[in-house]
Structure 1
Amino acid sequence: MVLRFTIRMVLIFRINRHAMLVIIQSIQQRFVTINRSRAITFHVLTQFRQIALLGHLRRHFFKIVS
């Protein structure tokens, strides 16, 4: 009786631990993809900012020249 109960507990624990690992891995994966997309967006934004800054400086430079 006790033995059967402990075996069941161990099995439940193993299954739950496996489920937890799977859940944790999927969460980590999601965080990685979120961070990657964030990094890409940040990269694109910085590029746009640099381009805008260059255009701004060019405009000023042309004003000074003309």
Structure 2
Amino acid sequence: MNKFPGILELSMAERIQLVEEIWDSIAADADNLSLTGEQREELDRRLDAQAANPGVGRPWQEVVARLLAAE
């Protein structure tokens, strides 16, 4: 069951914007976020993988722009 049914009435662009705003609000409060050892290990693994292959992947702005253009 969807706890926030109004979200589905938003366009794809509006939902992406909502997710970005939610994420920004979480990032702003990141000092209060505690990670488990397993989560920290996974983040370290991902950082190491990115450092080993810096050309892999796409910038977030590019991904969002592509999604918005597809709508």
Q: Name the TM-score, length of structure 2 as normaliser.
A: 0.30
Question: Which is higher, the Rg of structure 1 or of structure 2?
Answer: 1
Q: Name the TM-score, length of structure 1 as normaliser.
A: 0.32
The structure, 1 or 2, with the larger RCO (C-alpha pairs under 8 Å, 6+ apart) is 2
Higher helix share: 1
